[in-house]
Copies of this chain bind each other. A is one copy, B any other.
Amino acid sequence: MKAKLLISSLLLCAVATQAQNLKSPDGRLECSYGVDNGKPYYMLKKDGKTIIEKSYLGFVLTPYAVQPYTFKNTVDNSDIDFYSNFEQGTVKKTSFSETWQPVWGEESEISNSYNESKVEFTQKNTSKKFDVSFRLFNDGLGFRYEFPEQQKLPHFVIKQELTEFKTADDNTSWWIPGDYDSQEYQYAECKLSEIKANFYKNVRDNASQTFFSETGVQTPFLMKTPAGKFILIHEAALVDYSCMHLEYDPIGKKLVSHLTPDAKGNACYMQTPCKTPWRTITVVENAKELLASRITLNLNEPCAYSDVSWIKPVKYVGVWWEMITNKSTWSYTDEFPNVKIDETDYKNAKPNGKHGATNQNVKKYIDFAADNGFDAVLVEGWNIGWEDWFGYSKDKVFDFVTPYPDFDVKMLNDYAHSKGVKLIMHHETSSSVRNYERCMDTAFRFMKHYGYDAVKTGYVGNIVPRGEHHYGQWLVNHYLYNIKKAAEYKICVNAHEAVRPTGLCRTYPNLIGNESAAGTEYESFGGNNPEHTCILPFTRLVGGPMDYTPGIFEMDLTKLNPDNHSHVNSTLAGQLALYVTMYSPLQMAADLVENYQRFPDAFKFIKDVAIDWQKSVYLEAEPMRYITIARKAKNSDNWFVGGKTGLESRTSTIKLDFLDPDKQYVATIYSDALNADYKNNPQAYTIVSGITNSKAVLSIKTVAGGGYAISFVPATAKDLKSLKKLK
């Protein structure tokens, strides 16, 4: 990934007098900043209208936890004010513009242009200081605190960050509940002032969850103003810091940052020079522009690796959905009330007869992957320890290298490789992160020995060390440690239950996926709302790709497991749409082999669809309602369109002017049948093929929970003869 620097006019103009504002390259966004009664603040306007009102900046610090001399004395927990009595100092202004090429992505080139002000703020009574760097893009603002090296502040502990986001209006908002340990919720839609009343609306049980406030929400946090603008608050480049939530203050009518604390109630342990992640406020005129915004990626550092040849997008199948639906099990036996990794004798244990990761079953998936051009097969439940892996705060829960007796790791890898397929490793940690770190090098060496080059990690349950949270600084540090360590072995990471992505895949592109939201698995745990996949691209996906694991063809899960009465809330055609609308360099065909074999014509789209893109065009978009995207495959003339519909049926009308005007294409449209119904008739779809070109306009009907997918392939002379024009 080589950054191509187009313009880089680093015009450093250190101004002694206060420069009070900053404009975006197109001049439409304006950020002003200063000190008001000793409190640093910023404001944001677009076209002269206020988007963010005066919002204050600062921190509450806490002393180092010096132990008491006697337990009669209390520890000094008094807050340290790092938010008032400031004065503004020098402002440094710079401009920057580049185009860079991601290793993988929604497009092959990304433009990155901004104007920047770095503003110095000094606390008068303590002489401690921080700078705030404001970067103003045409589509939004990023700012971060930077703490220069200074004698008065060599190290410090942040108890809370007090960054405010005071919007001008009582915007409509889309959000999930603020939680230190889980993001696996569905989205609520309400006014800011209604958050409290709606807090529990979409709460559901999770293996680890810790709320902090009834007006606490997570980022990316999306709003729509009364004037129809969209505002998105998130963070970029979350490194060695605690993940930021937001808390809505109904009295001050503002959102305030809320950092995930550690076991002692502190958020971040800092050492100058250092900086916070970027706080981002994307401001765009419509939801399509939101999808096209690259602020989060642009605020991350360029790729940290000199060689990225080993990082590849992957389309895969897996021994997974059958466990999620409880058709088969991760565990091998029902004999043991518990397991000790180094002691339990599996060789003589009686198999439960439902184990998913057997040689026979895995070979079936390998054959299917090879026959259909998939790159890889994920296998979960291959390693010992699943009999009591969860809920007991086990320390040594897995060793990541010992297969169950019915999983022949060498034979299966050799078999897969002989067919041009790779196996994907699975490292469920059960959130016992010390154990995982102790095993990590050995586990990665084991992977390389057998030829694995990608791992899906998991962090189910409460964190060990106990008292830490999934989104605290301790774990944020761990996840990146894992990614960097994997890179040493040229291994790609798809981290589930880890902290939500913040664009770090620009810097560490071996982070090829994250979960960090309710994925398809919840279709087996009671179902996702049909509109769920119509909000994720505007929120969760802003930070990085999601391993959503789409492609379920059998919505009636009693067919897989008579005891599972959950229903997949989507039509089959809607599932196909997700391969385009839910961008990811890692795409799974999640359903069972036999379900794909029942619908080979529809399955053809999953086989055909690309997973890496030269260009993306956002055709239709309204959060929670619908989303339609066209994408051109990298190094190919093929285009693919996905259109996903939320709770209300609709007709999608799209102009094909994104196609090459000099070409004719064979279009194949996979769409909901007229009598399709996501609940009662989800498998009713139609497939139509015909010749078309860039001048055409298509209208496609979709039902609630439905959708459609189209492939466009340049037409051959034979096609032009044999196929009709598309109507």
- Could you tell me which A residues sit within 8 Å of B by CB distance? 64-71, 149-151, 154-155, 157, 181, 200, 203, 205-206, 208-214, 262-264, 266, 269, 271-272, 337-338, 340, 388, 391-395, 434, 437-438, 441, 462, 465-468, 474, 477, 481
How far, in angstroms, from A266 to B467 measured CA to CA in the complex?
11
Q: Residue on B with the closest CB to A199?
A: B70
Closest to A338 in B: B154
Q: Of B210, B262, B467, which contacts A264 at CB under 8 A?
A: B467
- Pair B395/A477 contact, Cβ less than 8 Å: yes
Contacts of A154 in B (CB 8 A): 337-338, 388, 392
Complex-state Cα separation, A590 to B338, whole angstroms: 50
| Cα(A346)–Cα(B586), bound, Å | 43
Known A-B contacts: A70-B211, A155-B393, A269-B395. Give 12 more (CB < 8 A): A64-B393, A69-B205, A71-B211, A71-B214, A154-B337, A155-B392, A434-B437, A437-B437, A438-B481, A441-B441, A465-B467, A465-B468
In the complex, the answer to whether A262 meets B467 with C-beta atoms within 8 Å is yes
Complex A-B: 27 CB contacts under 8 Å: A65-B462, A67-B181, A67-B462, A69-B203, A70-B211, A71-B210, A71-B211, A149-B337, A150-B337, A151-B337, A154-B338, A154-B388, A155-B388, A155-B393, A262-B467, A263-B263, A263-B264, A263-B465, A263-B466, A266-B466, A269-B393, A271-B392, A272-B338, A434-B437, A437-B437, A437-B438, A465-B467
Chain B: which residue is nearest A207 at the CB level? B67
A211-B71, A466-B264 given; A394·B269 CB < 8 A: yes
Q: Tell me, in angstroms, the Cα distance from A262 to B463 when the chains sit together.
A: 13
Which residues of chain B are within 8 angstroms of A71 by Cβ–Cβ distance?
A: 210-214
- Residues of the B chain whose Cβ atoms lie less than 8 Å from the Cβ of A272: 337-338
Please judge, given known A-B contacts A434-B434, A437-B434, A481-B438, whether A271 and B467 are in contact too, CB under 8 Å: no
- Docked Cα-Cα span, A337 to B154, in Å, equals 6
Across the interface, do B462 and A465 meet the contact criterion of CB distance under 8 Å? no
Contact status B271-A394, CB under 8 Å:
yes
How many Å from the CB of A717 to the closest CB on chain B? 61
* Distance in angstroms between the alpha carbons of A437 and B440 in the assembled complex: 11
Closest to A157 in B: B393
Distance in angstroms between the alpha carbons of A71 and B209 in the assembled complex = 9
Residues of B within 8 A of A468 (CB): 465
Partner of A262, one of B208, B434, B466, B474: B466
Minimum CB distance partner of A180 in chain B: B67
Closest 8 CB pairs of A and B: A263-B467, A263-B263, A155-B392, A71-B211, A154-B337, A465-B465, A154-B338, A264-B466
Shortest distance between the CB of A672 and any CB in chain B (Å): 36
Q: Which of B68, B181, B269 contacts A211 (CB 8 A)?
A: B68
Complex: chain B residue closest to A433, CB-CB: B434
Report whether B271 and A338 are in contact in the complex, using a CB–CB cutoff of 8 Å: yes
CB neighbours of A340 from chain B (8 A): 271
* Assembled-state Cα–Cα distance A151/B394 (Å): 17
The residues of B that contact A263 with a CB separation of less than 8 Å are 263-264, 465-467
How many angstroms from the CA of A606 to the CA of B269 in the assembled complex?
46
CA gap between A635 and B466 in the complex, in Å: 50
Contact in complex: B65, A466 (CB < 8 Å): yes
A198 to chain B, nearest CB (A): 13
Bound CA span A395–B262, Å = 14
**Chain B: minimal CB distance from A349 (Å):** 14
A67 and B210 contacting across the interface, CB-CB below 8 Å: yes
A204 → chain B closest CB, angstroms: 9
- Name which residue of chain B comes closest to A391, CB basis: B64
Per the bound structure, the CA–CA distance linking A394 and B210 in Å amounts to 26
State how many angstroms separate the Cβ of A200 from the closest Cβ of chain B. 6
Provide the bound-state CA to CA distance between A259 and B154, in Å. Answer: 36
Separation of A172 and B417 alpha carbons in the complex (Å):
74
* A211 contacts across to B, CB distance below 8 A: 68, 70-71
Query: What's the least CB distance linking A147 to chain B, in Å?
Result: 11
Q: Within the complex, what minimum Cβ distance (angstroms) separates A265 from chain B? A: 9
Separation in Å of the A262 CB from the closest CB of chain B? 6
In the assembly, what is the distance between CA of A455 and CA of B619, in Å?
65
In the complex, A213→B155 CA distance in Å?
Answer: 32
Cα of A209 to Cα of B266 in the assembled complex, Å: 19
Q: What's the least CB distance linking A213 to chain B, in Å?
A: 8
**Shortest beta-carbon distance from A310 to chain B in Å:** 23
A341 to B181, CA, bound (A): 31
Known: A269-B394, A392-B271. A474 touches B465 (CB 8 A): yes
Please name all residues of chain B whose beta carbon is closer than 8 Å to the beta carbon of A264 when the two chains form the complex: 263, 466-467
Closest CB-CB distance, A481 to chain B, in whole Å?
7
The CA of A434 and the CA of B463, in the complex, are separated in Å by 14
Report the minimal beta-carbon distance from A400 to chain B, rounded to whole angstroms: 16
Tell which of B64, B262, B337, B392 touches A64, judged by Cβ atoms closer than 8 Å.
Answer: B392
A65 contacts which chain B residues (CB < 8 A)? Answer: 393, 462, 466
